[in-house]
Amino acid sequence: MKEFKFSYDEENDDLFIYFPDKKSKGAVEIGNFVFDFDEDENLVAIQILEASQVLSKVVSKILELSKIKELKVDVINFRNMATIQLKIITDSGQDTANIIVPRIKQEKSPALSYI
């Protein structure tokens, strides 16, 4: 697992998880998640909107997001899907959340060939 940096905006309840040295070349929004990818289609950031509500559905422990000490992320690609494993560490312990999303590939849209 790779250690990502993170910031939590308590007022808006947004959790932003990112590689500080990587640049996003594109993003995809799926529900309460925004996934950022680099030029090689590697995940470089995740934003979770309404994070308290979303994470309460995918982790077994109740987490106070403002008390997160460390976040590790692993991305496992298989076929047309990817599993994003979040390891969330707080003073009171750790928990793991698995988020399954369609694998994103940057391809030119066929609709653009008609323009």
Blockwise average pLDDT, block size 10, the chain, 115 residues: 86 92 87 88 89 83 80 85 87 86 63 55
E-strand ranges in 1-115 read 2-9, 14-18, 26-30, 33-37, 43-48, 68-78, 81-90, 93-102
pTM of the model: 0.77
Domain boundaries, the chain: 2-104
